[in-house]
């Protein structure tokens, strides 16, 4: 009843159960084209990461922007889900472990061009031993640690060559190249720092490939990537592919890093106003931390957006933040201290949209995506979740 006099967009949104995950398809396309264009200008190739959305239709949109070959996944479940939907060139970019060998082999057996990564001679030996008894041959990239972020071998250390030799010489494993992820780029605050991070990621990876080749070992794939460094890099000489994922959606963390504008963010969460605390200038909504995730990535950044920046249903920014969250309650309050909220502007049952801190974490809370195009909900896309 409260939405009868609203325009078409509001009407279609009003039919959605809330909380709901909304995707602005126009923004998705623009984001995908933007990175594809940048990588093309450097004569590079993308291998888009699907871990943010885990959605076949989104992956196809990203692929349609061009200059992409294959996909990157963060779980074997993603690999299986996308392979079942026709994606057959898949890099599983998280270090493999023994209890996942059989599942990876099953994909290879079904014809998937799956490649994997690891960073120890012990794991390579375990994989080769598995292949010796179970069969299969695993194209394997050596993971490099180029910025101290988490996993990977030192590009300048002895293990690189030892591991390269092992992968090249043992049956059941194939040395397919090197890969890294410049995860520390998320902490950059300036364009200069981003460029330095991107060049370090590239330089150390290209140098590791050169060391392998100088030792007489093959290194066909030289794979780098993170959304911040993918946009910042200015020369891809020596690099065969760039992996990035969150750029298709973007989020408030990326906006704070300076990689996108708030108006580029393609993902939002639709919530319903369920009540007020007038004395405290709070709107209460049905979107709590299950709807947005517990990710508070902007808490340590330039602008802290709480659990999210707030839009109206048309996508216009409001001077509000989602300031707190319980499991199924959101609290929305003025973005600027000392300001009030005219609650009459937000009647009970009316809807708001919340831009997330971290698109990967927020999307991870949902099994489907409501797709908006030119302001109207046009589709519902399924997505994967879990492992």
Residues that bind a copy of itself (CB under 8 A): 1-2, 14, 16-19, 51, 74-75, 94-100, 103, 118-120, 122-123, 126, 129, 145, 148-151, 183, 272-277, 280, 282, 284, 286, 289-290, 293-296, 324, 326-329, 331, 347-349, 358, 360-361, 364-367, 385-387
Q: Closer to a copy of itself at the Cβ: 151 or 262?
A: 151
What is the C-alpha separation between 9 and 374, in angstroms, rounded? 9
What is the C-alpha separation between 293 and 33, in angstroms, rounded? 28
- Cβ of residue 272: shortest distance to a copy of itself, in angstroms? 5
What is the C-alpha separation between 296 and 291, in angstroms, rounded? 13
Three-state DSSP class for 23?
strand
As given in the structure block, the two tokens for residue 70 are: 């294959």
Q: Closer to a copy of itself at the Cβ: 57 or 295?
A: 295
Q: Closer to a copy of itself at the Cβ: 31 or 357?
A: 357
- Cβ of residue 215: shortest distance to a copy of itself, in angstroms? 22
As given in the structure block, the two tokens for residue 377 are: 């909900």
Three-state DSSP class for 14?
helix
- Cβ of residue 223: shortest distance to a copy of itself, in angstroms? 17
Q: Closer to a copy of itself at the Cβ: 192 or 277?
A: 277
Q: Closer to a copy of itself at the Cβ: 29 or 120?
A: 120
CA distances from 41 to 38, 46, 235, 239 (A): 5, 12, 9, 14
What is the C-alpha separation between 256 and 260, in angstroms, rounded? 8
As given in the structure block, the two tokens for residue 192 are: 């200069």
CA distances from 180 to 87, 191, 287 (A): 22, 21, 36
- Cβ of residue 81: shortest distance to a copy of itself, in angstroms? 14
- Cβ of residue 205: shortest distance to a copy of itself, in angstroms? 18
- Cβ of residue 163: shortest distance to a copy of itself, in angstroms? 12
Q: Closer to a copy of itself at the Cβ: 326 or 378?
A: 326
Q: Closer to a copy of itself at the Cβ: 216 or 347?
A: 347
- Cβ of residue 42: shortest distance to a copy of itself, in angstroms? 26
What is the C-alpha separation between 288 and 330, in angstroms, rounded? 4
- Cβ of residue 171: shortest distance to a copy of itself, in angstroms? 18
Residues ≥6 apart with Cβ < 8 Å to 1: none
As given in the structure block, the two tokens for residue 238 are: 């020596």
Q: Closer to a copy of itself at the Cβ: 162 or 328?
A: 328
- Cβ of residue 269: shortest distance to a copy of itself, in angstroms? 11
State the first-to-last Cα distance of the chain, in angstroms, to the nearest integer: 42
Alpha helices in the chain (DSSP H): 8-14, 25-41, 56-64, 76-84, 101-109, 121-134, 158-169, 191-214, 227-232, 252-257, 289-292, 359-363
Q: What is the C-alpha radius of gyration for the chain, rounded to an integer number of angstroms?
A: 23
Given phi > 0 = left and psi -120 to 50 = alpha, else beta, which region is 42? alpha
- Cβ of residue 297: shortest distance to a copy of itself, in angstroms? 9
What is the C-alpha separation between 249 and 360, in angstroms, rounded? 9
Q: Closer to a copy of itself at the Cβ: 236 or 331?
A: 331
Q: Closer to a copy of itself at the Cβ: 10 or 240?
A: 10
Q: Is the bond preceding residue 19 a cis peptide, omega within 30 degrees?
A: yes
């Amino acid at each position: 009843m409260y939405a009868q006099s609203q325009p078409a967009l509001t009407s279609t949104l009003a039919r959605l159960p809330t909380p709901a995950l909304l995707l602005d398809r126009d923004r998705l396309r623009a984001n995908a084209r933007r990175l594809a264009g940048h990588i093309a200008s450097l004569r590079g190739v993308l291998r888009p990461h699907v871990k943010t959305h885990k959605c076949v239709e989104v992956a196809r949109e990203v692929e349609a922007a061009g200059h992409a070959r294959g996909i990157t996944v963060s779980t074997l479940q993603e690999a299986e889900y996308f392979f079942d939907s026709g994606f057959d060139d898949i890099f599983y970019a998280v270090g493999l472990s023994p209890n996942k060998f059989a599942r990876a082999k099953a994909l290879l057996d079904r014809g998937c061009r799956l490649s994997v990564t690891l960073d120890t001679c012990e794991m390579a030996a375990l994989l080769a031993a598995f292949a010796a008894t179970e069969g299969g041959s695993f194209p394997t990239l050596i993971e490099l640690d180029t910025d101290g972020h988490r996993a990977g071998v030192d590009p300048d250390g002895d293990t690189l060559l030892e591991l390269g030799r092992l992968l090249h010489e043992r049956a059941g494993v194939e040395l397919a190249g090197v890969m890294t992820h410049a995860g520390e780029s998320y902490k950059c605050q300036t364009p200069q720092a981003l460029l330095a991070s991107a060049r370090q990621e590239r330089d150390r990876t290209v140098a590791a490939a050169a060391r392998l080749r100088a030792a007489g070992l093959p290194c066909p794939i030289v794979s780098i990537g993170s959304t911040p460094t993918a946009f910042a890099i200015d020369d891809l000489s020596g690099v065969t592919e760039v992996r990035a994922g969150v750029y298709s959606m973007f989020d408030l963390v990326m906006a704070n890093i300076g990689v996108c504008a708030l108006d580029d963010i393609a993902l939002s969460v639709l919530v319903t106003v369920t009540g007020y605390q007038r004395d405290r200038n709070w709107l209460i909504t049905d979107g709590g931390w299950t709807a947005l995730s517990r990710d508070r990535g902007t808490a340590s950044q330039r602008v802290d957006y709480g659990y999210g920046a707030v839009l109206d249903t048309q996508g216009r920014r409001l001077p509000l933040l989602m300031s707190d969250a319980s499991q199924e309650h959101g609290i929305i309050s003025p973005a600027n201290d000392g300001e009030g909220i005219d609650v009459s502007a937000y009647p009970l049952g009316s809807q708001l949209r919340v831009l997330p801190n971290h698109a990967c974490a927020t999307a991870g809370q949902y099994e489907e995506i409501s797709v908006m195009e030119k302001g109207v909900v046009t589709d519902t896309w399924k997505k994967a979740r879990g492992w």
